Structure 1
Amino acid sequence: MADQLFEEPRLADLYDLFDSPEREDLDPYVAMAAEFDAQSVLDLGCGTGNLACRLAALGKTVTGVDPALASLAVARRKPFAERVQWLHGTAASIAGMRVDMITMTGNVAQVFVTDVEWAATLRDCRAALRPGGRLVFEVRDPAREAWQNWNRARTYEEIVTPAGERVESWTDLLDVQLPLVTFRHTFVFHGDGQVLTSDSTLRFRSKAEITDDLTAAGLCVEDVRDAPDRPGLEFVFVTTRPLSE
């Protein structure tokens, strides 16, 4: 089940307003689609559809998959959304597909908190790739302890929506039991006084652990890159399904 941040319509409508409008974090994925000449791309955990729509605008054949209906509703309203195939579901929903590239951006690869669901997701991705196709995704480096900054003082933001409503938001760290970290997003709507919260748990895996998991799933690690928008803080894995099958 998706977090309330993505599943609650009022919060899903806010997601892009609180995120960076430029979305520099997506630029490397657009560049990799060109680098690897990927004509068909599946964005797993596509959220509000920013990457999917950007790739569709470039003429790619794009599928966006997400478990949150509210986020998909936002995605369907964006420019070039009509060129994207939107699927409500998870990695289990992509059976039978064959694509050149699969992406998992943001924190998507870390929402799979159990070994069983993570392994199943990697196997499903491998099965959906054509031989030679690539799975690319990012994770936070656990050694950098990103959660140390997840508090109100460092995360507080205030926006005014297009409708003129003032909304405050911040993040509070709830629990650290490595490799799991749990935190809460709080949103205060000044128009009617409503307060909504969304709790999330991420799993922090080491580079070595992820490499072993990928190998076990039959994927080859081609490269581990830095994230240009968060230099030194994340790993961007570039993996391939072997050609010789």
Structure 2
Amino acid sequence: MALYDTANTWAMDDEFFLGFINERPASRVLGLGCGTGRSTLAVAAAGHCVVGIDPDSEALAAARGKPEAGNVDWVSGTSAQIPEGELFDVAITTSHVAQALSDDVAWARTLGDLHRTLLPGGRLVVDSRDPVARAWERWTPVNTLGTCTLLDGITLETWIECTELEDGCITMTGHRRLRRNIEETYTSVLAFRSEAQLREDIATAGVQH
């Protein structure tokens, strides 16, 4: 998880989500797929009451170990583990969470769970890449190769490669290499849904937009 945090730092999308939430001071916020807590902790620091949920136990452990982690209620699981009876002013899914729900049934179930947990007038914010841009075609080892230096001075190399699947999905394989000889890989399937499809899915779940 330290490698993840080193390679994934605060960016424009984090600024957008934080600015959106700050439009309503002291909101109750649900961060679904909160990961190691980068955005979630910033939202809590801005004065909001936050619940962060993620199915990755290692990511949650990293989040819980960060300064001010006590300002967030951390929950291990998916949308099915949203605390019963809790309602929120806003729910957010950041950093490919919506795309990582590549199974349409799981995606619909998640949207339904989020809708049920929103207060009247509550807001749902979902980010996703536009399939028209075909960004995955540029996610090649040559184009994505990058390096960064960890706190202990070791250099980390990262790159990704993709394979296009059917039904608007791609398989993305990420590579991390330390000291040019220790390599880790991870693979995920991402769904590239059009804006029209996202709007239809969200409306079907009952969320007005």
User: Of the candidates 177, 198, 207, which is equivalent to residue 210 of structure 1?
Assistant: 198
Percentage of identical aligned residues: 36
Instruction: Give the TM-score, by structure 2 length.
Output: 0.94
State the partner residue of 1:64: 52
Q: CA RMSD in A?
A: 1.4
Letter in 1 for 2:24: F
State the partner residue of 1:120: 109
Structure 1 residue 52 corresponds to structure 2 residue 35: no
User: Of the candidates 73, 83, 87, which is equivalent to residue 71 of structure 2?
Assistant: 83
State the partner residue of 2:155: 166
Structure 1 residues 29, 77: closer, same or farther in 2, change over 3 A? same
CA shift digits 1:56-87 (9 cap, x unpaired): 11221111100101111111122221110011
Q: Is the 8 A contact 2:90 2:125 kept in 1?
A: yes
State the partner residue of 1:131: 120
Moved over 4 A (4+): none
CA shift digits 1:153-212 (9 cap, x unpaired): 111011221112222110011333241111100111218x32110001101111111111
Structure 1 residue 219 corresponds to structure 2 residue 207: yes
Structure 1 residues 37, 57: closer, same or farther in 2, change over 3 A? closer
Letter in 1 for 2:90: M
Q: Is the 8 A contact 1:173 1:182 kept in 2?
A: yes
Q: Is the 8 A contact 2:37 2:63 kept in 1?
A: yes
What is the Cα deviation at residue 38 of structure 1? 5.4
Structure 1 residue 92 corresponds to structure 2 residue 117: no
Q: Which runs of no fewer than 5 residues in structure 1 stay unpaired? A: 1-11, 222-245
Figure out how many residues of one structure are paired with residues of the other and give that number: 208
The farther-off stretch of 125-134 and 176-185 is 176-185
Structure 1 residue 142 corresponds to structure 2 residue 131: yes
Q: Is the 8 A contact 1:150 1:173 kept in 2?
A: yes
What is the Cα deviation at residue 220 of structure 1? 0.7
